[in-house]
Amino acid sequence: MGCYHSKRTKETPGYEEPTVLAAETPFTVSEVEALYELFKKLSSSVIDDGLIHKEELQLALFRNKNRRNLFADRIFDLFDVKRNGVIEFGEFVRSLGVFHPNAPVEDKIHFTFRLYDLRQTGFIEREELKEMVLAILHESDLLLSDDVVETIVDKTFSDADLKGDGKIDPEEWKEFVSKNPSLIKNMTLPYLKDITLAFPSFVLSTEVEDS
Amino acid sequence: SPKSPNLINAFQLIGMSSCLDLSGLFEK
């Protein structure tokens, strides 16, 4: 009962039991099973090996597997907890759990800190902030003079760097986000509450894709 | 005052990146 895909899942590298993942995340067992449907779709879109490769994340985000982007790289790196170049099912569910509407705000703040700490020094540094600003301007085809960019970066950095030591630490980041809650808006995906409707894993899939 | 009174927060600007909106993962 309820084991119709157990044979297939046993063969999937990195597969973890939904009951285990549900116990560690805000998801129910049914939601984890629904996420497995999404995971299968994403992890077979370029290389059908049951693992999400960077190209597959890029394809899902941009509809283009070759389009690279600083932020997509950082998202991939944070999801790839084992740092082995692929996202396994357990990593996918645990990472998406942070984006659940019921996930602790602390977890969302921590995730964004790690996202913006590009060089993983334990601090968000001014150069990293400028690099990210330049990346979003490039991505958006927005043109701002270097003077304007410098002014924006300086102002934001001085607002966040309460200790004035030239770097933003996790404590300062938490304080800054509490004053600017919109900074973690992207960290909540309402879709995750309806994931069983979008991917009804309880309906036996025919595995036949429309093209 | 010569200073710009309402500069956009750099992190808000960064948050506008489409890559940081993972809702694309759920699109059919």
**pLDDT of A207 over the 90 cut:** no
B7 inside 8 A of chain A by CB: yes
- Give the mean pLDDT of A17-36: 96
Residue with tokens 């084992």: A82
ipTM above 0.90, yes or no: no
Helices (H) and strands (E) counted in chain B, each on its own, are: 1, 0
How far does CA A164 lie from the centroid of its chain? 30
Helix (H, G, I), strand (E, B) or coil at B8: coil
Taking an 8 Å cut-off on Cβ atoms, the answer to whether A61 and B25 are in contact is yes
**pLDDT of A177 over the 80 cut:** yes
For residue A102, the distance in angstroms to the closest alpha carbon of chain B comes to 16
pLDDT band of residue A160 (cuts 50, 70, 90) is very high
Q: What is the pLDDT of residues A100-112, one digit of tens each?
A: 999 999 999 999 9
Angle made by CA atoms A24, B24, A209, in degrees to the nearest 5: 95
